[in-house]
Amino acid sequence: MTAATEGKPGIYRLLRRLVLWQVGWLWYLLVLIGVPAIVVLGFLTLPGAMASLHLSSFPQLVAFFPIFLLLEIFTSGLAEEPGWRGFALPRLQDRFGPLSGTVILGLLWGAGICLCSLRNGQRMRVGLRSLGSCFQLYAPQL
């Protein structure tokens, strides 16, 4: 999209923003610890989640976390995020303001994720209950 709307200068600006480091190390720490904690807490609110949780698997989860993090960076992080945050977010924020633009993008992202989950048949029944479960799982990430 950036190439179609802004040409080579737009692509250069988009790629340049991917390597700007404008925050302190505490923000990185918050992302590395806080985001997984929010995801786990969101998971634990689902019905039956506590019953399926086995503490004996906790060491394996901790050991695999760096691998999962790298996979996330190279799949969603570099494939999807530049589109959402590099293309859509600045345009929505320019049009609706920083808070409203971010909320609109978060709702669009959440709706897209929920629809993909329903389409892929991740044990969700179609209907209001499945949308509620999907919202419950992904809302904390907004």
pLDDT in tens, 89-118: 899 999 999 999 988 998 888 777 777 666
45/62 Cα distance (integer angstroms): 21
Asked if 14 and 86 touch (Cβ cutoff 8 Å), the reply is yes
Among residues of the chain, what percentage have pLDDT more than 70? 81
What are the start-end ranges of the H helices in 45-97? 49-52, 58-72, 78-79, 81, 89-96
**Residue 57, SS3 per DSSP:** helix
Q: How sure is the predictor about 120, in pLDDT bands with cuts at 50, 70 and 90?
A: low
The better pLDDT of the pair 47, 97 is held by 97
What's residue 68's pLDDT? 76
Please give the residue range of the domain that contains residue 33.
2-141
Report the predicted TM-score, pTM, of the whole model to 2 decimal places: 0.55
Number of domains in the chain: 1
